[in-house]
Amino acid sequence: MSQDRRYSFEFFPTKTDAGHEKLLATARQLATYNPDFFSCTYGAGGSTRDRTLNTVLQLESEVKVPAAPHLSCVGDSKDDLRGLLNEYKAAGIKRIVALRGDLPSGMGMTSGELRHANELVEFIREETGNHFHIEVAAYPEMHPQARNYEDDLANFVRKARAGADSAITQYFFNADSYFYFVDRLQALGVDIPVVPGIMPITNYSKLARFSDACGAEIPRWIRKQLEAYGDDSQSIQRFGEQVVSEMCERLLQGGAPGLHFYSMNQAEPSLAIWNNLKLPR
């Protein structure tokens, strides 16, 4: 945890040309803050593969910020993955976020040749050596499909030992869950940097739906205050900014090696937190 801190932002590929232009405009605005990299998500079963590829290449070549594509293994053959890795390598991409990935509706777990993220990490290392800095996912509050917390820790340890360089967490709103997770990993001999994933709060109903689906806990006191604001979006955003900024301050003071902002393709909510923390530019 002693390395220099790093700060990054995540995007998701859009379905429309207008949305894509907005994404690039947001990226250019965020680029003025000199983040270490941008990441770009990859839909269930590789459903946004081409859009992810195109977005990553534009972020790298036009916005001039290092880009890290998400790469998931369910639903893809080794040949598919090998082809993508070769394209990214040829384009000068140096960082990959390696994930198992979500299964599209109706797709069985047997789809694809690799079933788990640690297998994908091993495959990337076998194919490309140390060309890529490999990020993996971490779940301080436990992956929603894990059998229990101990199993989830063991899954993370497998990813780290397969060759992962660092990790980005699912978002959370309880700093203690992050510190406990990191302490447990260190007790198991795993010391790769684990960067907290940060979700700005801008819309309560969307956040509640998303959190219920991905297993991120919204503490009861936060949930009740957000409910009390009803449709008052200004109060929701003001309260959310304060709560998340204070949590980020505590995370950094406690030794977190950086922050990864889930931008949702918007600049202002993440930058409000960045500015509150007086992060370097």
Average pLDDT per 10 consecutive residues for the chain, totaling 281 residues: 77 92 97 96 65 90 95 86 94 95 57 83 97 97 93 96 98 98 97 97 95 93 96 96 98 98 97 96 84
Please tell me the pTM assigned to this model: 0.94
- The tally of domains found in the chain comes to 1
Residues belonging to the active site: 10
Q: Residue 153: inside a domain, yes or no?
A: yes
Encode burial over 132-160: b for 16+ CB neighbours within 10 A, e otherwise: bebbbbbbbbbbeebeeeeebbebbbbbb
166 within domain boundaries? yes
Q: Are 197 and 225 a contacting pair, CB within 8 Å? A: no
CATH of the domain at 46: 3.20.20.220
Write down the pLDDT at residue 112: 66
What SS3 state is found at 91?
coil
Tokens of 197: 């994933």
Residue 170 belongs to some domain of the structure: yes
Residue 90 and residue 61 in contact, taking contact as beta carbons nearer than 8 Å: no
Asked, for residue 32, whether it belongs to a domain, the answer is: yes
Residue 87: inside a domain = yes
Single-letter code of the amino acid located at 213: A
Query: Is 1 a member of any domain?
Result: no
Q: What is the pLDDT of residue 100?
A: 87
Q: Looking at residue 114, what is its pLDDT?
A: 84
pLDDT tens across 70-108, in order? 998 877 889 989 999 999 999 999 999 999 876 655 555
Given its phi and psi angles, is residue 197 left (phi above 0), alpha (psi -120 to 50 degrees) or beta?
beta
Structural domain including 225 reads 6-277
Closest CA to 74 of 50, 38, 98: 98
The predicted pLDDT at position 105 comes to: 52
